[in-house]
A and B are shown apart, each in its own frame.
Chain A
Amino acid sequence: MLSRVAESIYWMNRYIERAENVARLIDVNINLTLGEQDLLGKQWMPLVRTTGDHGAFESRYSAPTPNNALNFLLFDEENRNSIISCVKAARENARQIRQAIPIIVWEQLNRFYHLVLETSTQDIESIDTQDFCERVRLASHLISGAEDATSLKDQAWYFGRLGRMLERADYTSRIVDIQYFILLPENVPVGSTLDAVRWSALLRSANGLMLYRRKYGNLEPVTVAEFLLLDPLFSRSTLRCIAEAEDALFHIVNDSHDVAKRIADDPMANVNELWKAVLDMAKLSESMRNTDARSILNSGIHEYIDRIQTELNQIGITIQDDFFTWNKRWSTIQTSDHSTTGAAKKQEQRQRAD
């Protein structure tokens, strides 16, 4: 498939997943803050922090009031990770590759876009935020369901999967990082009485509370971290997502003509070495399988998650190099260096309309 198309599918899926994750965060936080009037102010900043954009927030908003935070996370187009920005970016990516995605997927994404656009014009006070977040989540589920039910399970599908899973892996690690920072300050020893409301909220934001209870019963910091980060079966745990991404990469590579050719040329060749991303991903998942939550907590959960995120970012860059940035890979062919700016190109695209 075209590298450009692969890249757009990958990003389309990442952005949809990101929109869903922001909606999850908000939904759970609203739930948490209801009935806790005194703590409202404190409750919203961690949320902004989770998205990694607190700098942008602080520079443009006077205070982390619920409405400011909601506006920033839902409809602020200058916040590139707000729901509206994510959905717009997802749609723009999809629009550039409409021919390559199932019609139903495009239609649902397009409806999603209009839903967000229309809601964004309303006064933030008048929006039923929980209902809206629910719709965002359902829209994302609908799209991934439609993708599953109507796609060829070819490279395009796996590039989409790859984007989804990497984004989800990253997101789950983020919420664990931030919430542990709040829920488990350094001076509180592991094992002291837990704030059950908040710990269950953390699990709920990953749709994991019921699943956690079935597996572990009572809430404990160690097992919650184990469940969210390392559970091999929980569909939103970081390790599970990385394993799924690894699987997607495996299919992508095996579906590739380069591989067939390489094996034909040299049956002993280790095909995985062709793609650095495959190796990096394998290393990461391997190291996660060989650790446990207790040692992570003992040696510093923040440092651990930081390392995971750095590696995920690096894998993202490697994927870019391996599959999308075509010239790096097949650099023997000189393509002309068009230094035309984006605007000029846009102008040029607007040609005759017969």
Chain B
Amino acid sequence: MFIIDSQNATFQVKLTDYSIADCYDELFQSAGEARNSCSPLVEHLRALDVGELTQYQQAADLFLRNSGITFNVYGHADGTERVWPFDVVPRIIGATEWSIIESGLKQRIDALNCFVQDVYNDARILAEGVVPEHLIFSSKSYREQCRGLQPPHSTWCHITGSDVVRDANGDLYVLEDNLRCPSGVSYVLTNRDLMKRVFTTIFRGISIAPVEEYPDNLLRTLTECAPAAVENPTVVLLTPGVFNAAYFEHTYLAQQMGIELVEGSDLVVDGGYVCMKTTSGLRRVDVIYRRIDDDFLDPKCFRSDSALGVDHLMDVYRAGNVNIANAPGVGIADDKAIYPYVPDIIRFYLGEEAIIKNVPTFSCAVDKEKDHVLSNLSNLVVKPTNESGGYGILMGPMSTQQQRDECAASIHQNPREWIAQPMLNLSTAPTLVNGSLQPRHVDLRPFILRGKDTYVMKGGLTRVALVEGSMIVNSSQGGGSKDTWVLADHDCVPQAGVQQATFPEAPPC
């Protein structure tokens, strides 16, 4: 590990000293030896002195603060708004490896989408016993109200953010699929923008895939799924409001797409359509990109005490006069009790083997597996099946006896709501911590859009656990983020010899 030596002014980032813990490192294959795809970046880093790197970090932090790029943390009365944590050292994914991730994610989302469509319609997969029926009907995310629905293009999962991790051997896994309201994509875009502003030199001589087309593709995905008869659909983004953790993202995406950001109280159902209340009357809305949970969407259909939703929205939806993305009810496919069956789901609908592996998972809904989990709590990561944001998770190896006892009691009480996985030793990436580069564990959340076609954003959000040894990357729990570079497999060099128009000049005196 590398320590700043203030005595030595010409001191440079000695990456040879970067020590690799007992796991896979994203940049280095062994101490001091960069992976092939990462060597240009490592060369750039070596040419810097540590003071410079710290200066870039400070410039980045200042930019984030001035731009108000923030997220909200729950459970604090004051100062809930925090500046987005960012690390200036990018994470790199090679072109070949990326193409595997990309096809694996496409495959997964296509299959999960078929699954949701099937569950709410023909239920073939249940009839054939591939996924146990009782897991569906006992799921908190199952919505009886969605039975028989056929959204445009049969698309339920318009926007997905799957979490991809790497274990100590370097193998990739999908840790979970987030199909309801996955967040983080705004930070992918702002991270790249930020890097291009404050750390321009680091891009020199490196070709990376752009991420900037995402808002365009998102808007296209949303307009494509408008009710069939609508010619120029009006798309809005429905937010719970300014106190939501991802509020920054909601405003950011609405701004990037040029659509209205609405709250439930801005919308009203009138004459069989959803309308927004404008300064000049009611204006019809055709597609709602919702960032609120099913439960809150429509007090007349789901939770009657919701103040965030729109009365009778689901009636309009069912009548096909508005589309909602992601579709209500889609959460059934990312219930963690369903997760162990995803490879079977892929096989069932697509006749293919999963390209990216699932993490071995014990489902407490199955008695034998539950017993195994209960007797191995201190080795496992135990997760509730319907929570998010890293809340409610037991990290077995780091847990206290009391935590394990409480967890065991919860499992006994409602086994269906719990799964367990082995503790993965997540890969690391060099991260600037107190003036030195240190290995910190990372994951990756790529984003997948499914309209007429399926598109995987090249890259994704790399989250990094800033605490040494920690595997918890959630920003709500002290995680940071990195710009993620998917290397382009060819260099895009502009063609030489194109005639340039010249600027007019004043005549000589």
Contacts and interface: CB of A to CB of B under 8 A. Distances in A.
Interface of A: 1-6, 92, 95-100, 103, 106-107, 110-111, 114, 155, 159, 252, 255-259, 323, 326, 330, 333, 335-336, 338, 340, 344-346, 348-354
Contact of A107 (B66, B161, B252, B311): B66
Given A95-B242, A100-B261, A335-B265, 15 more contacts: A4-B266, A5-B260, A95-B251, A99-B254, A259-B280, A330-B277, A345-B307, A350-B72, A350-B74, A352-B181, A353-B245, A353-B474, A353-B476, A354-B180, A354-B389
Nearest to B239: A349
Contact of B279 (A3, A333, A345, A352): A3
Interface centre among A159, A335, A351 (most CB of B within 10 A): A351
A98 B240 CA distance: 15
Interface in B230-250: 237, 240-248, 250
Interface in B39-64: none
B262 interface: yes
Contacts, number: 140
B308 A98 contact: no
A256 B279 contact: yes
B133 to A, nearest CB: 26
A277 to B, nearest CB: 12
A351 B240 contact: yes
A333 B183 CA distance: 34
Nearest to A351: B293
A349 B242 contact: yes
B305 A340 contact: yes
A2 B260 contact: yes
A114 B81 CA distance: 13
Contacts of A257: 280-281, 283
14 contacts: A4-B265, A96-B241, A107-B68, A110-B66, A330-B277, A338-B265, A338-B299, A338-B307, A340-B307, A348-B306, A350-B244, A353-B183, A354-B183, A354-B388
Interface in B265-311: 265-266, 268, 270, 276-283, 292-293, 296, 299, 305-308, 311
A307 to B, nearest CB: 29
B246 A353 contact: yes
B65 A99 contact: no
Given A99-B254, A257-B280, A333-B270, A349 B243 contact: yes
Contact of B66 (A95, A114, A346): A114
Contacts of A99: 237, 250-252, 254-255, 259-261
B436 interface: no
Contacts of A100: 255, 261
B281 A348 contact: no
Nearest to A96: B242
Contacts of B277: 2-4, 326, 330
B178 interface: yes
A343 B292 CA distance: 18
Interface in B306-334: 306-308, 311
B8 interface: no
A351 B66 contact: no
Given A110-B66, A336-B311, A349-B241, A155 B279 contact: yes
Contacts of A330: 277, 281-282
B263 interface: yes
List the 7 shortest-distance A-B pairs measured between CB atoms, nearest first: A353-B389, A99-B254, A256-B280, A98-B251, A340-B307, A99-B255, A349-B240
A252 B299 contact: no
Nearest to A323: B279
A345 B245 CA distance: 14
Given A110-B68, A351-B292, A352-B388, A98 B245 contact: no
B281 A344 contact: no
A1 B65 contact: no
A95 B311 contact: no
Interface string B378-393: 0000000000110000
A5 B280 CA distance: 13
Contacts of A110: 65-68
Contacts of B311: 335-336
Given A258-B280, A349-B308, A106 B68 contact: yes
B152 interface: no
Nearest to B74: A350
Contacts of B306: 348
B66 A111 contact: yes
A352 B180 contact: yes
B340 interface: no
Interface centre among B74, B280, B474 (most CB of A within 10 A): B280
B71 to A, nearest CB: 9
B66 A336 contact: no
A9 B458 CA distance: 36
A330 to B, nearest CB: 7
A278 B364 CA distance: 67
Interface string B158-189: 00010000000000000000101111000000
Contacts of A92: 242
Given A4-B266, A256-B280, A348 B261 contact: no
Contacts of A353: 74, 183, 245-246, 388-389, 474, 476
A122 B353 CA distance: 63
A29 B252 CA distance: 42
Contacts of A159: 279
A345 B241 contact: yes
A354 B178 contact: yes
